[in-house]
């Protein structure tokens, strides 16, 4: 069997027990642990610009290596300028807001796009030196849309697949990016493009037809000039049984026992996400406030725990949302708190998974209400961590990719604060028989769309796809 080579900007911390930064790193690490392989990405370190010659592609040292079981991790540093232009700039100030329909927050600077092209080329050159002839390359996410183009330009002939973890927006939204056509053509260079949902796949196909004049072939693929562009839908999953086992193990953790004692029979509503404007925290805080106004009988009976580790803190839009939420959390607590009750516990730090799982299991309600989300693994983890005999209720935004699968959730529109407040009341009062039915139905879907299925289905299709050069004949 050919070796699997995964490429992503963010790689998981190699040591057990450390909190991962986001779902991509968590999901890819779990998927790779099973299959083994090589994982290439950014080290998370930046070098001062002075150590790199002005037009050099490769910052100084060769990639660093670490091993975690069957996974060999190669990481490369970026320069401060790379970080500013490629990561903070084009990836997270242009692409991220646009892919999440927040075009009023999107900023485009041509210089940032040049940095994005440069880092994609740098990844290609560093990776090419590590490749064997029959390696299968699986590239992840919006930071690396131009990687197949860069690899082909330097003569790499291996199969190259791409998986987009974030939503693909409507054609009219994606085309607000001044360089959208180059990105679209870059994506078309991959041998297979995977999406989280059918909606994302459809939006991409529409974009390719409307803006790049691609045509639909009789077999259903897209045709762009001489190239056949293959796409598929592969929802990322979780490993349900190990997560439940972690939830059970963690019940005896002293910090968890202590917190359970402090809750003192109060019902726990819990949310977990990176502090990101796409996650809908502001609207959710307001919905919780409405719930306390409209359901005074629940005051003192409930605590809302919001875990929100800071993310991309040097991007202005993230600083703004952080300031706003600090103000709102203080205001809501100031309005409702009593000597012996604080309604909203807002924590700006990350938790390792072995603590998150028992916390999920304690929570009567998992509140997951992003404005847009590619998938949202927290929603799936919350379901997996529950006791099937006495499960909690998931309240889930209709705009999370996970909503396509988790039909037992109480579904909400994150722009409808009154609707979310009502959903909290419904969830807290739900009879146990209904909670069990809903949970069982969601568990069936977690088992069908498992993490193994995500990896195996994508790689099966990629191995079938013709290698780039023959497809472009
Ligand atoms: O690497 P960061 O800039 O710190 O951001 C963390 C990750 O956030 C995003 O995660 C996405 O992938 C998840 C797994 O498929 C999915 O559930 C979620 O909806 C997405 O937002 C981002 O796409 C990753 O590249 C980042 O590493
Ligand atoms: O304090 C935290 C917060 C989050 N996570 C993990 O980060 C991932 C978040 O993934 P998700 O798909 O929900 O969102 P993303 O951050 O990737 O947009 C999940 O696996 C969480 O368990 C974590 O380990 N510790």
Give tens-digit pLDDT for 342-355: 999 999 999 999 99
- Check if 4-236+451-466 and 240-447 are the same fold: yes
- How confident is the model over 33-85, as pLDDT tens digits? 888 999 999 999 998 876 555 555 555 556 778 887 889 999 999 999 999 99
Q: How far apart are CA 418 and CA 295, in angstroms?
A: 12
Return the domain boundaries, the chain: 4-236+451-466, 240-447
Strand, helix or coil for residue 407: coil
The DSSP string of 318-351 is HHHHHHHHHHHHHHHHHHH-BTTB-SEEEE-S--
Tokens 């030196």 belong to residue: 129
Distance between alpha carbon 222 and the CA centroid of its chain, in Å?
26
Pocket test for ligand 2, best of 11, 272, 275, 352 (most atoms within 8 A of CB): 272
- Checking if the pLDDT of 471 tops 50, the result is no
The two beta strands, 222-224 and 227-229, are antiparallel
Question: Above 80 in pLDDT, residue 468?
Answer: no
The Cα 226–Cα 447 span in angstroms is: 39
State how beta strands 64-68 and 71-79 pair.
antiparallel
Q: Which residue has the higher pLDDT, 363 or 50?
A: 363
The whole-number average pLDDT for the span 93-110 is: 98
Within 10 angstroms of residue 13's Cβ, the number of other Cβ atoms is 17
240-447, CATH topology level: Rossmann fold (3.40.50)
The C-alpha angle 281, 239, 308, rounded to 5 degrees, equals: 20
Give the whole-angstrom CA distance, residue 427 versus residue 295.
13
Widest distance between CA atoms in the chain = 74
pLDDT tens digit sequence for 426-442: 999 999 999 999 999 99
Work out the number of other CB atoms within 10 angstroms of the CB of residue 50.
7
- Gyration radius of the chain over CA positions: 23
What gap in Å lies between CA 51 and CA 54, rounded to an integer? 9
Q: Which is higher by pLDDT, 69 or 6? A: 6
Handedness of CA 170, 173, 176, 182 (dihedral sign): negative
Please name the residue whose Cα sits nearest to atom 3 of ligand 1. 312
CA pair distance 257, 264, nearest whole angstrom? 11
State residue 149's pLDDT score. 98
pLDDT band at 19 (very low <50, low <70, confident <90, very high): low
Please name the helix (run of DSSP H) or strand (run of DSSP E) that holds residue 462, with its range, or none: helix 451-464
> Would you state the structure tokens that stand for residue 152, as one six-digit string?
């082909």
- pLDDT exceeds cutoff 60 at 447: yes
| CA pair distance 304, 287, nearest whole angstrom | 11
- pLDDT value of position 421: 98
What mean pLDDT do residues 263-283 have?
97
Catalytic residue (choose from 165, 191, 276, 439): 165
Distance of alpha carbon 86 from alpha carbon 343, whole angstroms: 40
CATH of domain 4-236+451-466: 3.40.50.2000
How far apart are alpha carbons 432 and 387 in whole angstroms?
A: 12
Assess contact for 194 and 163: CB atoms under 8 A. yes
Ligand 2 pocket, Cβ-based, cut-off 6 angstroms: 19-20, 22-24, 26, 272-274, 307, 309, 350-351, 353, 356, 375-378, 381
**CB neighbourhood size of 325 (10 A):** 20
- Name the range with the highest mean pLDDT among 11-20, 210-219, 420-429: 420-429
- pLDDT score recorded for residue 61: 56
**Whether ipTM exceeds 0.95:** yes
Q: Residue 18 above 70 pLDDT?
A: no
Query: Atom 4 in ligand 2: which residue has the minimum CA distance?
Result: 273
Over 50: is that where the pLDDT of 473 sits? no
Model confidence at 405, in pLDDT bands (50, 70, 90)? very high
**Catalytic (active site) residue 165:** yes
Select the more confidently predicted residue: 235 or 470. Answer: 235
| Integer Cα distance of 138 and 192 in angstroms | 9
Q: What is the pLDDT of residue 52?
A: 57
8 Å CB contact between 285 and 308: no
Q: Is 60 helix (H, G, I), strand (E, B) or coil?
A: coil
Integer Cα distance of 238 and 406 in angstroms? 13
Mean pLDDT, the chain, integer: 93
How far CA 146 is from CA of 184, 195, 231, 401, in Å, comes to: 9, 17, 17, 24
pTM over 0.90: yes
CB under 6 Å to ligand 1: residues?
A: 10, 21-25, 27, 141, 165-166, 236, 311-312, 373-377
User: For the chain, what percent of residues have pLDDT higher than 90?
Assistant: 86
């Amino acid at each position: 069997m050919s070796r699997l080579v995964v490429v992503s900007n963010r790689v998981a911390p190699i040591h057990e027990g450390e909190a991962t930064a986001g779902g991509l790193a968590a999901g890819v690490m779990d998927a790779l642990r099973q299959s083994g392989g090589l994982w290439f990405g950014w080290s998370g370190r930046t070098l001062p610009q002075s150590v790199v010659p002005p037009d050099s592609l490769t910052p100084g040292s060769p990639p660093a290596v670490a091993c975690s079981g069957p996974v060999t991790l190669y990481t490369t540093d970026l320069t401060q300028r790379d970080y500013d232009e490629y990561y903070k700039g084009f990836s997270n100030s242009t692409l991220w807001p646009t892919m999440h329909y927040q075009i009023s927050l999107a900023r485009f600077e041509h210089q940032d796009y040049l940095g994005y092209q440069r880092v994609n080329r740098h990844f290609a050159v560093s990776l090419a030196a590590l490749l064997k002839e029959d390696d299968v390359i699986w590239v992840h996410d919006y930071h690396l849309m131009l990687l197949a183009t860069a690899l082909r330009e330097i003569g790499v002939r291996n199969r190259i697949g791409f998986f987009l973890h974030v939503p693909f927006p409507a054609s009219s939204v994606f085309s607000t990016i001044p360089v959208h056509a180059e990105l679209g053509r870059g994506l078309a260079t991959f041998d297979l493009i995977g999406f989280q949902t059918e909606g994302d796949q459809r939006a991409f196909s529409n974009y390719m037809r409307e803006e790049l004049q691609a045509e639909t072939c009789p077999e259903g693929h897209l045709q762009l000039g001489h190239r056949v562009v293959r796409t598929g839908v592969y929802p990322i999953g979780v490993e349900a049984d190990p997560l439940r086992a972690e939830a059970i193990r963690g019940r005896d953790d002293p910090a968890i026992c202590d917190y359970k004692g402090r809750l003192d029979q109060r019902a726990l509503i819990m949310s977990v996400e990176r502090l990101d404007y796409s996650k809908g925290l502001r609207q959710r805080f307001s919905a919780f406030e409405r719930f306390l106004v409209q359901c005074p009988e629940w005051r003192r009976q409930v605590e809302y725990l919001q875990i929100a580790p800071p993310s991309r803190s040097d991007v202005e839009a993230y600083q703004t949302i952080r300031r706003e939420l600090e103000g709102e959390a203080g205001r809501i607590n100031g309005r409702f708190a009593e000597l012996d009750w604080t309604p909203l516990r807002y924590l700006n730090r990350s938790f390792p998974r072995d603590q998150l799982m028992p916390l999920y299991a304690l929570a009567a309600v998992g509140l997951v209400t992003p404005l847009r989300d590619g998938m949202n693994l927290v929603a799936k983890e919350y379901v997996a961590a529950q006791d099937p005999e006495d499960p909690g209720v998931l309240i889930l935004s209709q705009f999370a990719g996970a909503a396509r699968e988790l039909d037992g959730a109480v579904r909400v529109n994150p722009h409808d604060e009154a609707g979310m407040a009502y959903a909290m009341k419904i969830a807290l009062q739900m009879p146990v028989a209904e909670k069990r039915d809903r949970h069982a139905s969601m568990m069936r879907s977690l088992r069908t769309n498992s993490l193994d299925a995500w990896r195996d289905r994508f790689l099966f299709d990629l191995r079938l796809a013709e290698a780039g050069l023959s497809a472009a004949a």
